[in-house]
Each structure stands twice: as C-alpha cells, then as structure tokens.
Amino acid sequence: MKVSARASVRDALRLRAAALDLLGGRQPDWSGLDASSAGTWDVFLRTERCALALKARIAAAERAVPDHVETASTRELQRILSARGQLLRIGQLAAAHGIPAIVLKGGVAALISPAPVDVQDVDVLARPLQAERLAGLLDEEGFLGTGPVGTAHVAQRISPNAVQIEVHFALNDIEVTDGMWNHARPLDGAAGLSRLGAADHLWHLLVHTVVTHPHRRGALRDVLLAGEALRDCSPVELKDVEGRIAIHPLSQTLDELLDMARDLRDGLPVRDRFRRDAAANYLLRGPLGWLGFSRFWTPAFVTALFAQLGGPVGRRAEWALACHRPQWSSPWGFAARLELRSPRIGRWSRTAVRITRLIVVRMAAWPVAMAARRLAS
C-alpha cells in the first residue's frame, strides 16, 4: 500500500514518544517508527533535529534505520563536520592574534562530544572590543558579512558550503560577567578556543532554549544537549544552576527542561513536559506550512503562539516587550527616517505598531494554540 506523503501531527507526536523511549535507552513502540508517512518524518526531523542520535540508537537495537533518518543524519553530520572546521579555523585566528574566544552551545559538542548534535551555525563569544576585530580577521580569510548586526552579535559571516558563523559580544537574556570569563576552560585539541564553565554552559543552554527561542522548548536536540551538559556538572555546579532557576521568572519551564534532560540522561521514563509545544511546531511545519514566512509577521506570530502555550508569565513578558521603548533605530526605511526627523513621534509610532501587531497575532495564534493543546491531549 502506498504511504501518504502528508504530515500528520498525531503521528509526529507518536514518533516523538517513540524517540524519547529510544533515546532514553528503553524499548519504543516500533510501529510508531515504521508506519509514519514521509511528510510526518520530515516535519518531525526538522523540528527535533535528532536524526544522528536516533540512527545510533536504532542501529544499536539491530533494526533497519529508516531512510528518512539515514538521510537526515547524513545532513546533520555534514553540518557538524563543517562546524568543527569553522571553529578550528577561528581558533587559529584567535590564538595568532591573542583574542580570547569562547565556543558556545552546540559548537562545544561538535568539537569534543562523542555524541554531537545538529548545528545550524557556530557561535563564539569575544569581549566587546575584540568581536569586531575577530570578525574582520574572518573577512580577511575570505568570509563575507551578511545580515544586520544583532543585539548580541556582529553581522553573520558566511563562506560557501559551510555553516555560518556568529561572533558574539554579548549573550541574549544573560549578563556576561567577569566571573563567566574567569570560569572559562580551554577546549582540548582546539588551540585558541575555550568553553564556558560547566554551570554557565548548562545555564546558557537552558535560557537560550526557554527564554531566547521559546519555539525550541523541549526540542529533542536541545534536551540531548542539556543532558550532555549535565554530565559535566559537579553536584556543587548543578546546585548553582538550580539556584539561578529558582529566582528566574520562568523558573517552572526551566525546571521542566532540566528535569527532562536529567531523566533522558539517566535512562529513566521521560514525562514529555513539552508535548503541546511540539504539537504547535508540527502544525506550523506541516498543515500550516503553506503560511510561509514574513519578516514582519512570522516572528511575532510564533512568539505569540508559544507565549500562549507557556502561560501567563510569558504573555506578560511579551506585552511588556511590545510596550518597551525601542533602544535601536527601526530596520524599516520609512520608520527610521521618521525617527530621525521627529524622534518622539517615531518612537510612539513604532510602539503603536508593535502593540497593534501583538493584538492581531494573538488573535491569529489563539486557534493554533487551542489545536496544539487538543492534539497533545
């Protein structure tokens, strides 16, 4: 019988449940892995980004690796190898010019872990006065700057057929302190590069997933990465992270991600605390994929959707951000010119547009959030 190529959110959730069992070292419901359509596999693997880990577990169970997993794992491995090459190149430049550089997030696993995870880009942190210098050195090596300067990194650097590079001078949602620099440790086998201390590394991973990119809450790739970081933490360092979580406004969500990573690492039965978030992602990539991408609307819509799923704390933070006075000029030409000619009117106009957009996207996101809750039930 011919298998449908259409994506099913319910089947993708069954794939996720089977993957959690498999990645935790338990026997999954193999029928969930064997009977899913090509479209469902595509949506699942693009959301969870865990094909390489899945392939290893399926092969260890002496079962045939599905073609979809094989293809996706090959792409992930290519990106990991590209990231390694890019980071070693950065390390050579940093060492030659005396620039301290810290590798962030998945780049650490790409360099030193026996079980690395997928990476879309590589992130390195330099001190604010040295980030532009490091980016300039990359330009001299043939890299090209692309895109705008972010709130925490200079313009991305790209080279053909390689993952892109982001040189950070700050971290989103985390203050970079002298203590973080002092706790950084050299990376074995990667001259010129360091990594954050174990507690800071785990904390950054948790905050990056829960706060900075809420649509990635509970993605299996990020749960695996957090579990890897947990292994590196001593009891004292873990207690430090738990103390930071306890005083954070999103403490419950951060705790849930940490607990899920711990259970997966220890091979315990994993309660899927982010099933609704996964369902929403599957909806956006599957049945609602036809909506496409808009620079103006899509980020706001996704933020509103996951704020609704995340509860009242996230919604209040979203509203406060919309009302907050902007600290940088508008990326839109007309608005930027208006701000130059009349700063007060320009700022009021931008705030009014953001609030109006938030109201509209909240109304649009509400039925999607309801559907995600229903599918995840």
The pairing of strands 185-186 and 144-146 is unpaired
Quick check: helix, strand or coil at residue 124? strand
Listed in sequence order, the residues at least 6 apart from 283 whose beta carbon sits closer than 8 Å to its beta carbon are 9, 368, 371, 372, 375
Q: Which two tokens stand for residue 71?
A: 């293809």
pTM listed for this prediction: 0.89
Average pLDDT over residues 208-217: 94
In this prediction, residues 137-144 reach a mean pLDDT of 95
Of 131-140, 249-258, 289-298, minimum mean pLDDT range? 289-298
Residue 321 pLDDT: 62
Count CA atoms within 13 Å of residue 83 on its CB side.
Answer: 26
**Is the pLDDT assigned to residue 7 strictly greater than 60?**
yes
At 316-332, the pLDDT tens digits run 666 666 555 555 444 45
| 154-206 pLDDT, tens digit each | 999 999 999 999 999 999 999 999 999 999 999 988 999 999 999 999 999 99
pLDDT at 83: 97
The radius of gyration of the chain's CA atoms, rounded to the nearest angstrom, is 21
Instruction: Compute the mean pLDDT over every residue in the chain, rounded to the nearest whole number.
Output: 88
- pLDDT score for 293: 58
Q: Say if CB 96 and CB 116 are below 8 A apart.
A: no
Determine the Cα–Cα distance for residues 244 and 282; give it in Å rounded to an integer: 31
Residue 168 and residue 176 in contact, taking contact as beta carbons nearer than 8 Å: no
Listed in sequence order, the DSSP H helices in the chain are 9-23, 30-34, 38-48, 51-60, 67-96, 106-112, 128-140, 178-183, 198-207, 220-231, 235-246, 251-266, 275-285, 298-310, 312-323, 333-341, 343-376
pLDDT of residue 322: 56
% pLDDT > 90, the chain:
71
Q: Is the model's pLDDT at 143 over the cut of 90?
A: yes
